[in-house]
Amino acid sequence: MSNGLVLAIAAVLLCAVCIWAGVWIYMRRKYVDFTNAVCGSIDQILSGEGTGDFDFDDESLLSKIQMRLERLADITEAAARESEEQKKQVQSIVSDISHQLKTPIANITMYSDTALRPELSEETRQQCLRTLKNQVRKLDSLIQSLLQMSRLENEIIVLHPRENVLKNTLFEVAESIRLRAQKKGTEVTLECPENLHVYYDEKWTAEAIFNIVDNSVKYTGDCGKIRICAEPLEIYTKITVEDNGTGIAPEHINDVCRRFFREEKSSCIEGVGIGLYLTREIITRQNGYLKIKSEEGKGTSVSVYLPNQGK
Here the CATH number for the domain that contains residue 251 is 3.30.565.10
The DSSP bridge pattern shows strands 187-191 and 225-232 to be parallel
Q: Are residues 184 and 297 in the same domain?
A: yes
Domain, as residue range, for 19: 3-79
DSSP state of 105: H
By the 8 A CB rule, do 177 and 170 touch?
no
By the 8 A CB rule, do 223 and 185 touch?
yes
DSSP helix/strand/coil, 195: coil
The closest alpha carbon to 62, from 32, 85, 86, belongs to 32
What is d(CA 69, CA 17) in angstroms, rounded to the nearest whole number? 38
Q: Are residues 199 and 252 in the same domain?
A: yes
Task: Provide the edge-to-edge strand list for the sheet that holds 236-243.
Answer: 187-191, 225-232, 236-243, 299-307, 289-295
By the 8 A CB rule, do 239 and 209 touch?
yes
The closest alpha carbon to 204, from 280, 141, 282, 148, belongs to 282
pTM over 0.75: no
Boundary-marking domain end, from 17, 47, 79 = 79
Instruction: Find the largest Cα–Cα distance for the chain.
Output: 134
| Within-domain flag for 84 | no
Q: Are residues 149 and 186 in the same domain?
A: no
Residues of the chain where predicted confidence (pLDDT) is lower than 50: 55-59
Q: Are residues 112 and 247 in the same domain?
A: no
